[in-house]
Amino acid sequence: MRRLIYFVLAFLVWVLASWPFVDGQVDLQVIVAGVIASALAALLFHDILPKEHHVFVSPIRVFWMLAYIPVFFYYVIRANFDVVYRALHPAMPIKPGIVKIKTNLKTDSAITALANSITLTPGTLTVDLTDDGYLYVHWINVKSDDVEQATQAISTRFEWFLAKIFE
């Protein structure tokens, strides 16, 4: 079942990326290449893809995933302006350091998505993850060494959505 779901997802991405519909006709070569590539990806990589495949078949989870995308981009753009401000400021007001944050997420996919969301946000970089639910994050401007306050500032805005999507 998991392979089928990943095949369908890979094929949808292929079709959207290559868009074989030109002038009212379908480019059969692109479709066949997509089927072959998607089948190979599903067969070869299903073990390393998330075990929580139910995420992709639940309309409610898909809704929350689509709702998460603009929220994530908002925080990425906001962080970009913050980093540019710090880089261009004559005094360069930074206080870099590594902080420990606590996550309440339980599934591997959710924790991975949180770590990636933090890393993709400029000014932060996830450097380590422990088995007991802590992430170590390099932060360009450490505002607090306290775990609760650092968690609130860095990950809480993402966790709520990721819990709805993955758990």
The pLDDT value recorded for residue 92 is: 79
Which residues, 6 or more positions from 48, have their beta carbon under 8 angstroms from its beta carbon?
A: none
The pLDDT value recorded for residue 125 is: 92
Give pLDDT tens digits for 9-34.
889 989 888 888 887 788 888 899 99
Range of the domain at 102: 55-166
Whether residue 153 sits in one domain with residue 99: yes
pLDDT higher than 60, residue 148: yes
Are the C-beta atoms of residues 154 and 99 closer than 8 Å to each other? Answer: yes
Which residues, 6 or more positions from 157, have their beta carbon under 8 angstroms from its beta carbon?
A: 71, 75
Task: Give residue 52's pLDDT band: very low, low, confident or very high (50, 70, 90).
Answer: low
Q: Which two tokens stand for residue 80?
A: 């970009």
Distances (CA, A) of 160 to 58, 91, 94, 115, 163: 18, 36, 28, 14, 5
The pLDDT value recorded for residue 51 is: 64
Q: Which two tokens stand for residue 47?
A: 């073990």
Name which residue leads in pLDDT, 49 or 82. Answer: 82
Task: Give the C-alpha separation, 167 to 165, whole Å.
Answer: 6
Q: What is the reported pTM?
A: 0.71
The pLDDT value recorded for residue 2 is: 74
* Of the residues 49, 66, 87, the one at which a domain ends: 49
Whether residue 90 sits in one domain with residue 37: no
